Structure 1
Amino acid sequence: MELLHNAVRAYAWGSRTAIAELLGREVPAPHPEAELWMGAHPGDPSRVVRPDGSRSLLELLAEDPDGQLGARCAGRWGSRLPFLLKVLAADEPLSLQAHPSAAQAAAGFAAEESAGVPMDSSVRNYKDPSAKPELICALTEFHALAGFRAPERTVALLRSLEAPDFTPYTELLAAQPDESGLRALFTTLITLPQTALDALLPQVLDACVLHVKERGEFDLECRTILELGEAYPGDAGVLAAMLLNRLVLRPGEAIHLPPGNLHAYLHGTGVEILANSDNVLRCGLTPKHVDVPELLRVLDFTCGDMPVQTGSETSPGLWTYRTPSPEFELSRLELTAGDEVRVDHDGPQVLLVTQGCARMSNASGQSLVVARGQSVWLPAADPAVTVTADEPTRLFRATAGSG
């Protein structure tokens, strides 16, 4: 049971307040801070804090995978921690993207290796042969686009916009309101020539302005399209975003993003857990490389409402977000003053305090006081930990999945 020192990643879309406040640093930060990483990603591994200094968690796993990860986890993942825990703080939209399944990633990685595409090439899609499912749990009100909306609702949205040149695209979906129709419309929009986009987008944006002025049924969706159109002029991703569910998560609510799910985080702060992979297929809302054929190979056009979880209470004070992803599981601990919760698992764990302060102790006589913004590494070989709260306290626990 040891404290972690974690890397803060600075991206242009990040917040200058959210992560700085969580860590008790000066606000605003001098530059945008987008993600706080907790785990053993090779790009920025956490460091385990010890009296004689600190050690890279990546090095500890390589030296003792069974003791750190446990036999079950090490047997499946080797010395690799299968998950990465993050605090994600977005002040601006992230790119519209999807992630491959394990089979797709393995095939894509092998193909690019065989073709000799350099690992640092701007057109490289696959940095590793692994899937990258994700789950995001809101700490603040969190806005996102995720999953294809039911076609009937998308047709209603598109028909509510007075954009005559867009009518043929609307009717393409209206004639086949199913997954195949969505694929056909999405493919058409994402492959439009730039000259066609430059003519069509202003008309769509003008229609969204009118819809907002008239307080139409799809006010939030239209405001989002306007924001994206202003941030990414001439980007086909703005039109693709019209086909997705627009979500507003309240604190404690979460969405699981399986392979092939098209999504974009828009604004807010959340705890994200994901498979320890770098594979991203971008669709738009970015100046980075977009490989349309590969994106279409990966995308899942299953449509309908995006399931939102609040977690299930698996033991008193412990709420777990269930997913089919074998790489990770996220739980939330909600404690009032005086509460005690026993935390145990046969694999590695990371505990992150996002509110209050927790006292942690185990049968080996170890004890730690963990303040807001701090996190703890619990190796598989360690005994169970008792978490005690002296004030209202919230923690998140990351573990490997049970699948």
Structure 2
Amino acid sequence: MERLTNTIRPYAWGSTTAIPALLGIAPTGEPQAEMWLGAHPGAPSHLARGPLDAVVAADPVRELGPAVVGRHGPQLPFLLKLLAAGAPLSLQVHPDLDQARAGHAAEEAAGIPADAPNRNYRDRNHKPELICALTPFDGLCGFRPPAETADLVAGLGVDSLKPYADLLHAQPEDAALREVLTAVLTADPAAVAETVAETTEAADRLGGPYAPYADIAHHYPGDPGVLAALLLNHVRLQPGEALYLGAGVPHAYLNGLGVEIMANSDNVLRCGLTPKHVDVPELLRVVRFNATDAAVLRPEADPDGEEVYDTPAAEFRLSRLVLAPDGAPRDLTSAGPQILLCTAGRVTAGELTLGPGDSVFVPAGDKAEISGAGDGAGTLFRAIVPA
């Protein structure tokens, strides 16, 4: 097991305090949004023997195991993060695998530079993801049933929202959601800004179920994404609870600290709540216009007490272990690569002692023995590639 040194990304929406508090360091006053743990070339973790992406590239079969290389190619298939939202992230969706490959090929053929601001597909991969809350964590996830959204919108009493409520009542689910989202994102910007201002005022006054949307509106005044957000379920996760987000599901994280894991991709189609590029036609092609419950995912403990977050993702499996200081050592040796992240207490990993925010990389097949350390229980998140 090898200790990782990880990069913290200072995105504007990041919390100034959450990651420093977990790491036990003084805040800098600047946003600290994400700590990346993995081999993504944008910010690879470092081992004593070099950047993790270069280490994997030098001998992928040794580091990842032959089965993982055979299924996913010569790269670590997942990216693990600590995510700390102090303000809402962009409202977004991710493509499925076929859409990502076709979109990437089309943009390559068109000669769009990989780092261009109007680039949608920066790689050929899809991006299923899971967020597990370490603190109370708010987000938006999936479309609410149109009739329920129509009632919510009508309750605001904003005249310019009435046509949207009428559409949501009059059309079948797929058509209703598609028409309203299209109308919101293609409307005259000045008219949208005025509607958003009236909506914000009404949501502030009414509070209750409107409060999350009022908060979004204060962070993004005049943004059409505020109206798009009204179409989505609001969910609050308690520590240990999670959300899984598959292809085509619109979502946004609003605030809180969590452990996030995803397929190793950077493909994002944005709907709003951002100054970045919004490609409306491509977005509408990728979004799945069906209502879904914001299903909260809770872990299931295996016979040894490892709490597994079960998802259909082929690239990753996230689990959590709570280790008593006097418990017997646990052998986590796996045929594939692993990243272990401590989020609370103290944990012994081989000859290393990990505190909150510390992490290790375990190459395929290498012995991975862990145990609790210190006076209290230690919490460890484990990221592996499913067999």
Specify the alignment match of 1:364 in structure 2.
none
Q: For 1:395, what is the secondary structure of its paired residue?
A: strand
1:107-186 residue pairs with structure 2 within 5 A?
A: 107-186=102-181
The residue number in structure 2 matching 1:215 is none
| Structure 2 unmatched ranges of 5 or more | none
1:31-180 equivalences under 5 Å are 31-49=30-48, 54-180=49-175
CA distance in 2, matches of 1:315, 1:352: 22
Aligned pair 1:377/2:365, yes or no? no
Q: Aligned to 1:147, what secondary structure does the other structure show? A: strand
Q: Please give the residue correspondences for 1:239-278 in structure 2 after superposition, counting only pairs within 5 Å.
A: 239-278=227-266
Return the letter of the residue paired with 1:354: T
- Higher mean C-alpha deviation, range 66-75 or range 171-180: 171-180
Equivalent residue, structure 2, for 1:392: 377
Return closer, same or farther for 1:37/1:299 CA change in 2, 3 Å cut-off.
same
State the distance in 2 between where 1:395 and 1:200 align: 46
State whether residues 200 and 218 of structure 2, in contact with CA within 8 Å, keep that contact through their aligned partners in structure 1: no
User: Aligned to 1:186, what secondary structure does the other structure show?
Assistant: helix
Residue type matched to 1:209 in 2? D
Mark the runs of 5 or more structure 1 residues left unpaired by the alignment. Answer: 213-218, 362-366
Query: Structure 1-normalised TM-score?
Result: 0.92
Match of 1:5 in 2: 5
Taking the aligned partners of 1:279 and 1:34, their CA distance within structure 2 comes to 18
Report 1:172-321 matches (<5 A): 172-212=167-207, 219-220=208-209, 222-321=210-309
Cα offset, 1:381, TM superposition: 2.6
TM superposition shift of 1:210: 3.2
Please say which of residues 98-107 and 336-345 is displaced more in the overlay: 336-345
Work out the CA distance in 2 between the residues paired with 1:200 and 1:177.
25
**Which residue type is aligned with residue 331 of structure 2?**
R
Structure 2 CA distance for aligned equivalents of residues 58 and 306 of structure 1: 34
The ranges of structure 1 where at least 4 consecutive aligned residues each deviate by more than 4 angstroms after the TM superposition are none
Give, in angstroms, the shift of residue 80 of structure 1: 0.7
Amino acid at match of 1:373: G
| Counterpart residue identity of residue 378, structure 2 | T
> Aligned-residue CA RMSD in angstroms?
1.5
CA shift, 1:384, in A, is 4.2
- Say if 2:154 and 2:161, in contact at 8 Å, map to a contact too: no
SS of match in other structure, 1:270: strand
Q: Which residue of 2 aligns with 1:29?
A: 28
Q: Deviations over 1:39-64 (max 9, x none)?
A: 00101111113xxxx41111111111
Alpha-carbon separation, structure 1, partners of 2:281 and 2:106: 14
Q: What's the CA shift for 1:260?
A: 0.8
User: How many residue pairs get matched?
Assistant: 385
- In structure 1, the residue matched to 2:19 is 19
In structure 2, relative to structure 1, the CA distance for the partners of 1:112 and 1:317 (3 Å cut) is same
Residues in 1 aligned to 2:355 and 2:214: alpha-carbon distance in whole angstroms: 40
Is the 1:152–1:177 Cα contact (8 Å) retained in structure 2?
A: no
